Amino acid sequence: MLSLQVLYFILLWVCPGILMVLLKYDTPKFNRLTKFIPIFLVVCMPVIGPLYYSEPLQRLIILYSYMFLILSYTLATFHQFNLVKAVSIGGLICVLSSYLWELPWLFKNAVVVGWEPDWVLHLMGLFYFWYMKDTIGFKKGYPTKLMIALFLGISTWYMFYTGIGPNVYDAVVWNANNFMYIRIISIFVVFQSLVLPIREMNTIEDKK
């Protein structure tokens, strides 16, 4: 569907820029809307449930939308961020994780197929990484490195042994449920890598 493709393009290429701008904009004006996020998630489930299984690209958009709202609510409620900043950080976590989860797949294709021109698009992931490193920061130390290494190692092993052929871009396969689990885990990995800097960032904001 063209409308889904347009929405996907906006989410992938336009929204990250908006989120980066929002990270610099901190205001409590919209904090009262935080309490409506879990209500929205629950109320929408009966409608979104059937949609999740109807269209592969729809499934992808729904998954990241839900994870984005959950992260935003978590940051606003448990880390005491203003909602605007919570939305920005939650969205950027989803953006960066969307590149992280694809690294094992790219590695598999590199071994089986070789270089592919569209890999250049994944260099954007490095841009988002450096931006978040400079503005938020990542936890340092071996536990974080070990967590990321284990995720990439196990995911790569999984990619090699799923039985799915190399260089597959069919949406039904790319957005299959078994890959959705890897996407969710990658969001958790990125979030855990940022937890301590996020707390420190909020402490600094409180002191200003």
- The model's pLDDT over 54-92, given as tens digits with 9 standing for 90+, comes to 777 788 888 899 999 999 999 999 999 999 999 999 999
- Listed in order, strand segments (DSSP E) in the chain are none
pTM of the full structure? 0.88
pLDDT of 154 reads: 92
Give whole-number Cα distances, 70 to 28, 59, 73, 90, in Å. Answer: 19, 17, 5, 8
Which residues, other chains included, contact 90 with Cβ-Cβ below 8 Å and sequence gap of 6+?
Answer: 68, 69, 70, 71, 72, 74, 75
Model confidence band, residue 109 (pLDDT cutoffs 50, 70, 90) = confident
Checking if the pLDDT of 3 tops 60, the result is yes
Q: What is the pLDDT of residue 170?
A: 47
Q: Does the pLDDT of residue 163 top 50, yes or no?
A: yes
Q: Which amino acid is at 197?
A: P
Mean pLDDT across 34-41: 93
How many other CB atoms are there within 10 angstroms of residue 37's CB atom?
19
